[in-house]
Chain A
Amino acid sequence: EVQLLESGGGLVQPGGSLRLSCAASGFTFSSYAMSWVRQAPGKGLEWVSVISGSGGSTYYADSVKGRFTISRDNSKNTLYLQMNSLRAEDTAVYYCAKKMGIAVAGTGDYWGQGTLVTVSS
């Protein structure tokens, strides 16, 4: 059974940093690309970033480019999102999602339960 468990969310001040983790199990982690999607309170879904199975390819939404870094440790079956220079508009539930193949194309077939990030002074 595919399981994705996000952690690392919390309250942070504007300009601060936070690192989210997503622990994966139930599948061969290195064989699948992974992505992050966020949802501001009461709003719709926003795609944030994607990384290939090898970690060699990464892409970002313009809204986070230069501030967020996606990475993965295939030996630990864990996906990360390093978030720097956080802004109030980054407040959201952050979901990790398993993609359907090793490349970044395609969609996410399984999602975690999400972790809430609140940026506020």
Chain B
Amino acid sequence: NAGVMQNPRHLVRRRGQEARLRCSPMKGHSHVYWYRQLPEEGLKFMVYLQKENIIDESGMPKERFSAEFPKEGPSILRIQQVVRGDSAAYFCASRADGGRGNEQFFGPGTRLTVL
């Protein structure tokens, strides 16, 4: 039973480019969470999605960031016109239906570097 998969593991972008981060939840999990970890800080909640629905995006910056979790395929975190301050590790977590909201399993993360 594969765990949460994220790709790419490392992503380098120049300022102004777009970054697309993908997350495949664990099999049977329909809830996905995205967190961001800046250097020397803990993980910070960004967005919570269920299949085809955004449940809570209170942690997402209002501009340039968007997330989706389509009926088929992985969840995508999209950052448009990246800036240096977007450099961070982005972690995805998933949980099963019926599980406690905080029983989340994390992927290995995508490390985004903006040059």
Tell me if chain B binds chain A: no
